[in-house]
A and B are shown apart, each in its own frame.
Chain A
Amino acid sequence: MKAVLQLALKSAWARRLTLGIALIAIALAAALLLAVERVRHDARQGFTQSISGVDLVVGARTGGVQLMLYAVFHSGSATNNIRWDSFEAIATHPAVAWAVPLSMGDSHRGHPVVGTQANFFEHFRYANAQSLRFASGKSFAGVFEAVLGSDVAKELGYRVGDRITLTHGMAELGPDHADKPFTVVGVLAPTGTPVDRAVHVGLEAITAIHLDWAGGAPLPGLNIPAEHVQKFDLQPKEITALLVGLKNRADVFRLQRHINAYKGEPLLAVLPGVALDELWQTLAMVERTLFALSTLVVLVGLAGLTATLLASLNERRRELAILRALGASPQAIFLMLTVEGLLVTALGILAGAVLLAGGIAMLAPLAQAHFGIHLSLRPPSWNEIALLASILATGLLASLVPGWRAWRMSLADGLTPRN
């Protein structure tokens, strides 16, 4: 039996070109399937870990998913703002422990700018209730001071003390607030959440840079220099959204109803966990479709393997008859073909895993920058190992077909193939 297996290896090596092509097909298919699984897992991880310890997210009345998208993921924009007095009404509600205002709309070189208060750094939590940490520097205190997310600092090479200019709107080449530069006073430690990509400034700063603006453009002839902004009332009139923490979590539904029925203006309060689930559901469709497609691709790859092995059988008929004459049993012939298919599948899977690792190493920065998905380079998870094992099992099934045919053939042929 050992002799036959060694011969199987040598025979396969002699046909390495055709088998190699089948192997490449399996490798690509396995890599695709693994990639879909990895992106799905990491995206979900990123989603569910993006915010925690916040009981309610509040914005102008809109969809819950949309509110989460712009308030937490800095994706899309709010259709309406919230008046400042609404924020104050919620913040001073007896059930509320803390409230953090958020004001979006500006950007810095493609990164969103979040106007907030210093208590944001104190209350915001991500993953398992981890709080934000400063890698260097400290929270903003003055008007024209900014705290950078770790990716912003890393990508643009900023350090504490550097000066940056904000841009109006989210376009990378929008009109600049060049007259009022900011000083970087702090850089946050990496969190793997959208916070990494944001520039945080005080709410007053947002008001200050828009003092001499109206309708999204600088007012002609009006220029208020940075050193004079303190003379103005920098209390914002509107904000985009707010994060709310409760004294007692049991009050969450009561407060949600209260906010949703708020008389002053139409508001929406969502529970982040529920809204994230809802958001994930909408993406799950896409994810399942991708998964189904890549499963099909794997099946196509394995069908290619079966076809290759079956096609090779005719030219190997003589070879199998020789092995029979030398004393190989039909079972050994069956094993020889099956092992060959299994070997190609196993090597294909291995190559696929390597391909995926290489792909992630190359594409992870892009995925992070453009989609906010943090793809990690790590050994396969149990889930992925189970996927690979099921590819191998299917590969075994696919290899049984040529094995079985070779068995039948060697029984029918005896020692002299009849062509």
Chain B
Amino acid sequence: MIALSDLVFRWPGQATPCLDIPRLEIAAGERVFLHGPSGSGKSTLLAILGGVAVPERGRVELLGQDIVSLASHRRDVFRADHIGFIFQQFNLLPWLSARDNVLLPCTFSARRQAQAGDPPGEAVRLLERLDLAPSLWDKSAAELSVGQQQRVAAVRALIGKPEILIADEPTSALDAPRQQAFIDLLLTEAATVSATLLFVSHDQRLAAHFDRVLSLADINRAATGDES
């Protein structure tokens, strides 16, 4: 499902690479916790997986397709079609309603629109499933609490059944009791749509319940811990 080999990446102007990953493989449907301290290159790795950053060397195979060899606009389409992202915070466009935020992937990707079947109906189904009250659906995203925003972001990542879910510190803005609840929710939903889940965090306490726990330092030969 996800296969990296001989990946080397450095930001423009940097002398040494910040990522040098000889091999990383994640199977379809696998739910992986990737651990690494802040600044260890986690976000860079996610940008490469999303096709937003391009490595200077190596293969990045997603669903059997080497995305490095794709033209940049094909990578953008690939990302829209196959990957759902959830970020740390401020996932939503503040001037759109929760419902419209959820529907965004279906406007960017014909594939996800098709897979959602009836996108508005699917949006409602998922919003209900993630326990968001109907009174919140048409509120603008800026009016929602942080916890509500993160759940709307999860719904948006899930709509249209993308094969890959990438979550970048999605719980760091939540308080402790809600963190585990959110992770459990994500694990369940990923399993329901049989998506591959890559969950990235610096907080190792959250690693329970995942199929596999990886440390970026173990797979990244360039790791020194203090790079940006």
Chain A residues proximal to chain B, CB less than 8 Å: 3, 6-7, 10-11, 13-14, 318-319, 322-331, 414-416, 418
Q: Is the CB of A415 within 8 A of B47?
A: yes
Q: Interface size on B (CB < 8 Å)?
A: 30
Interface contact B47-A416, CB-CB below 8 Å? yes
Q: Mark B50-62, 1 if CB is under 8 A from A, else 0.
A: 1011000000000
Q: Roughly how many angstroms separate A3 CA and B108 CA in the complex, as a whole number?
A: 7
B201 to chain A, nearest CB (A): 14
Which chain A residues border B148 with CB–CB below 8 Å?
none
* A415-B85, A416-B168 known; A326+B80 contact, CB < 8 A: yes
A sample of 16 cross-chain residue pairs with beta-carbon separation below 8 angstroms, ordered by A number, consists of A13-B95, A14-B95, A318-B90, A319-B94, A324-B52, A325-B50, A325-B52, A325-B87, A327-B80, A327-B108, A328-B76, A329-B73, A331-B73, A414-B50, A415-B50, A415-B87
The CA-CA distance from A318 to B73 in the complex, in Å, is 21
Asked whether B92 lies within 8 Å of A322 as measured between CB atoms, the reply is yes
- Give the distance to chain A from B164, nearest Cβ to Cβ, in Å: 13
A323 partner residues in chain B, CB cutoff 8 A? 93
Query: Are B93 and A319 in contact (CB-based, < 8 A)?
Result: yes
Which residue of the partner chain B has the closest CB to A410? Answer: B52
Chain A proximity mask over B40-81: 1 for CB below 8 Å, otherwise 0: 000110110010110000000000000000001100110111
- The residues of A that contact B224 with a CB separation of less than 8 Å are none
B180 at the interface (CB under 8 A from A): no
Q: Please determine whether A3 and B43 come into contact, CB atoms closer than 8 angstroms.
A: no
SS of A interface (majority): helix
Residues of A within 8 A of B81 (CB): 327
Contact of A10 with B95 in the complex, beta carbons under 8 Å? yes
Measured CB to CB, the nearest residue on chain A to B83 is A325
Let me know if B204 is at the binding interface, CB within 8 A. Answer: no
Contact of B96 with A10 in the complex, beta carbons under 8 Å: yes
Compute the total of residue contacts between A and B using a CB distance below 8 Å: 66
Verify B94–A326 contact, CB threshold 8 A: no
Closest Cβ–Cβ distance, residue B42 to chain A (whole Å): 10
Q: Given that A322-B91, A326-B105 are known contacts, is A415 also in contact with B96, CB under 8 Å in the complex?
A: no
Kindly list the 5 A-B residue pairs having the minimum CB-CB distance in the complex, ordered from nearest: A327-B80, A14-B95, A414-B47, A3-B107, A327-B108
Q: How far is the CA of A194 from the CA of B78 in the complex (A)?
A: 73
A326 cross-chain contacts in B, Cβ below 8 A? 80, 85, 104-105, 108
Whether A415 contacts B76 in the complex (CB less than 8 A), given A319-B93, A326-B105, A328-B108, comes out as: no
Known: A325-B79, A328-B108, A414-B43. A14 touches B50 (CB 8 A): no
| A7 / chain B contacts, CB cutoff of 8 Å | 93
Which of B84-103 touch A at CB < 8 Å?
Answer: 85, 87, 90-96
Q: Which residues of B contact A328 (CB under 8 A)?
A: 76, 108
A393 to B168, CA, bound (A): 42
Give the distance to chain B from A330, nearest Cβ to Cβ, in Å.
8
Determine whether B109 belongs to the interface, using a CB cutoff of 8 Å to chain A: yes
Considering the chains assembled together, what is the distance between the CA atoms of A11 and B140 in angstroms?
Answer: 13
Evaluate contact between B94 and A416: CB separation under 8 angstroms: no
Which one of A331, A414, A415 has the greatest number of beta carbons of chain B within 10 Å?
A: A415
Nearest-neighbour CB distance to chain B for A69, whole angstroms, equals: 60
* Nearest chain A CB to B14 CB, angstrom units: 13
Whether A11 contacts B52 by the Cβ 8 Å rule is: no
A414 close to B53 (CB less than 8 A): yes
Report the bound CA distance from A331 to B105 in whole Å. 18
User: How far does the Cβ of B109 sit from chain A's closest Cβ, in whole Å?
Assistant: 6
List the A side residues contacting B76 at CB < 8 Å: 327-329
Q: What are the residues of chain A within 8 A of B50 when measuring CB–CB? A: 325, 414-415
Provide the bound-state CA to CA distance between A331 and B91, in Å: 21
Asked whether B107 lies within 8 Å of A325 as measured between CB atoms, the reply is: no
Interface string of B99-127 (1 = CB under 8 A from A): 00000110111000000000000000000
Residue of B nearest to A331 (CB): B73
Residues in B with CB closer than 8 Å to A325 are 50, 52, 79, 85, 87
Interface string of B182-208 (1 = CB under 8 A from A): 000000000000000000000000000
* B156: nearest chain-A partner, CB-CB: A326
When distances are taken between beta carbons in the complex, the residues of chain A under 8 Å from B79 are 325, 327
Contact assessment for B108 and A14 in the assembled complex, using a CB-CB cutoff below 8 Å: no
User: Which of A11, A318, A319, A416 is the most central at the interface, judged by chain B CB atoms within 10 Å of its CB?
Assistant: A416
Q: Can you name the residue of chain B whose Cβ is closest to the Cβ of A2? A: B107
Which residues in A have their C-beta under 8 angstroms from that of B80? 326-327
**What are the residues of chain A within 8 A of B90 when measuring CB–CB?**
318, 322
Q: How far is the CA of A415 from the CA of B80 in the complex (A)?
A: 13
* Distance, CA A96 to CA B73, complexed state (A): 82
Which residues of A are found within 8 Å of B46, using beta-carbon distances?
415-416
A329 closest partner in B (C-beta): B76
Query: Are A414 and B52 CB-contacts (below 8 A) given A7-B93, A322-B92, A329-B72?
Result: yes
Also in contact, A327 and B93, with CB within 8 A (given A414-B47, A414-B53, A415-B50): no
Contacts of A10 in B (CB 8 A): 95-96
Q: Which residues of A contact B94 (CB under 8 A)?
A: 14, 319
- Bound together, the chains give a CA A323 to CA B94 distance in angstroms of 12
Query: Could you say which residues of chain A place their CB within 8 Å of the CB of B228?
Result: 418
Alpha-carbon distance A415/B43, docked complex (angstroms): 8
With A415-B46, A415-B47 already in contact, the answer to whether A11 and B95 are too (CB < 8 A) is yes
Encoded as 1 (CB less than 8 Å from any A CB) or 0, chain B from 212 to 228 comes to 00000000000000001
A318 to B149 Cα, complex, angstroms: 15
Q: Which residues of the other chain, B, contact A14 by a CB distance below 8 angstroms?
A: 94-95
How near does chain B come to A127, taking the closest CB pair, in angstroms?
Answer: 57
Please name all residues of chain A whose beta carbon is closer than 8 Å to the beta carbon of B107 when the two chains form the complex: 3, 6
Give the residue name and chain of the B residue nearest to A417 (CB).
Answer: B90
Min distance, Cβ A274 to any Cβ of chain B, angstroms: 64
- Complex: how many Å from CA A14 to CA B108? 21
Which of A11, A329, A331 has the most chain B CB atoms inside 10 A of its CB? A329
In the complex, A331→B77 CA distance in Å?
Answer: 13
